[in-house]
Amino acid sequence: MKGMNNKILHVDLASGTSWMITPASADIENYIGGRGLAVKLFTDMSNSILDPLAPDNPLIFMNGPLTDTIMTSGRFQIISRS
């Protein structure tokens, strides 16, 4: 799963800042693919009673693990609470 480069860009639109997140190796192995890791990040960043229209509702764009590899898969996921 090294095609993901172990980097996630976190952008805070309210403050206009961004920083890199390095997911744990266990998370990359346990939550295979863009969808699994995105859902893991979403549950870590939010709670179960989050209002879908709240400004702190995470909006996660995650590419799949085969993106930009020899397999040339172009899948990505958009995860949020609706």
**pLDDT tens for each residue of 33-63:** 788 889 999 999 888 888 899 888 999 998 8
- The CA distance from 50 to 44, in Å, is 12
> What's phi and psi for 48, nearest 5 deg?
-75, -15
4 falls in which pLDDT band (50, 70, 90)?
Answer: low
Q: What is the pLDDT of residue 1?
A: 46
Q: What's the rounded mean pLDDT across residues 13-37?
A: 87
Q: How confident is the model at residue 14 (pLDDT cuts 50, 70, 90)?
A: confident
Are 18 and 9 spatial neighbours (Cβ–Cβ below 8 Å)?
Answer: yes
User: Cα 5 from chain centroid?
Assistant: 13
At residue 38, the 3 state secondary structure works out as: helix
Q: What is the model's pLDDT at position 72?
A: 65
Closest CA to 46 of 61, 33, 66, 60: 60
